Amino acid sequence: MGDTGYDNNFYDSLFAERALLDFAEHMLTEVPNVTFLTKDRIADPDWKPAFEEGIVINNMAFNGDESAPHLHMTFILYVKNCSRGQSVQNAFSQTFKRMGYATTMKQAVDESDNLVWQDTPQGKVPQMKKVEYGAVTWIEEQSEWIADYMQKELGWERFFKGKNERGDLLLSDYRRERAAERAKEAEKIVFLVETDLKAKEKAVTEKASTIFKLDEMLTDKKMNLEQVDGTVRYYD
């Protein structure tokens, strides 16, 4: 909806506004483990969400005075019966994990699909990477709801706003690719450093060998000079 600003296309902006307001209603009434605050709920010291883990929306506002209509939403993560610390917390990863959106990791692999290991004082350990971000997966589900709505109701296809270098990649996929690229760059740097170190070690070895040979030559010449000196003294 990047080109649906009221000044650019008034009627498309109205359609976008409708899509966003329908999404807001869907979020507040249909999405599992989501509730919202009201003045009465805030004033009630005994009020608490009806779930043990979820999202409590404390503000959702429609904004139509910029280049494209959009929603602003702020929320509080809520999880109870925590095993550590306070019983009730706003723990980010724990909330999404209990909602069924765990962040998962697996051992990284190189370009040849070989497992990547890290050297530590305790020995080699697997180099792990995140393959799925729980919160990102949840957010993507909400984005897909809007995308499906736009396609069915308005015939609009989803595309990403602005000059985003990830293009049409999902954020989780983009992060994985960037992590893989950074790992490759790190491997290249390590390879270059090791190659340079080997070259320097070779140069040092060669210089040490040259110095040793020069030392032998100097020793031989010194012995020759001593012999010549002894011969001259003999004839004197």
Domains of the chain: total = 2
Q: Which of 159, 189, 211 is the last residue of a domain?
A: 159
Is 83 in the same domain as 198? no
pLDDT tens track for 176-200: 777 888 888 888 888 888 888 888 8
Domain boundary among 159, 192, 226: 159
107 plus 206 within the same structural domain: no
Is there a domain that residue 113 lies in?
yes
Does residue 149 belong to any structural domain of this protein?
yes
Of 86-90, 101-105, 211-215, least confident by mean pLDDT is: 211-215
Distance CA 138, CA 147 (A): 14
123 and 65, same domain (yes or no): yes
Q: Which tokens hold the place of 106?
A: 């697996």
What pLDDT is attached to residue 207?
Answer: 83
Q: What average pLDDT does the segment 204-209 reach? A: 83
Residue span of the structural domain in which 135 resides: 10-159
Banded model confidence at residue 44, pLDDT cuts 50, 70, 90:
very high
Token pair for 150? 């736009």
**For residue 213, which amino acid is it?**
K
Specify whether 54 is located in the same domain as 84: yes
Give residue 167's pLDDT.
Answer: 59
Residue 218's pLDDT band (cuts 50, 70, 90): confident
Q: Is residue 225 part of a domain?
A: yes
pLDDT, tens only, 58-95? 999 998 877 778 899 999 999 998 888 888 888 888 89
pLDDT of residue 168: 55
Q: Is residue 5 part of a domain?
A: no
In a domain, 40, yes or no: yes
Does one domain contain both 96 and 204? no
Strands (E), 87-140: 104-107, 117-120, 123-126, 128-132
Instruction: Return phi, psi of residue 3, to 5°.
Output: -110, 30
Residue 83, φ and ψ in degrees, nearest 5: -80, -20
33 and 139 assigned to the same domain = yes
Same domain for 16 and 76: yes
Tell me which residue of 161, 122, 149 sits closest to 16, measured CA to CA: 149
In angstroms, what CA-CA distances link 22 with 3, 16, 28, 146, 212? Answer: 20, 10, 10, 9, 85
| Statement: residue 201 has pLDDT above 90 | no
Whether 24 and 139 map to the same domain: the answer is yes
- 164 in a structural domain: no
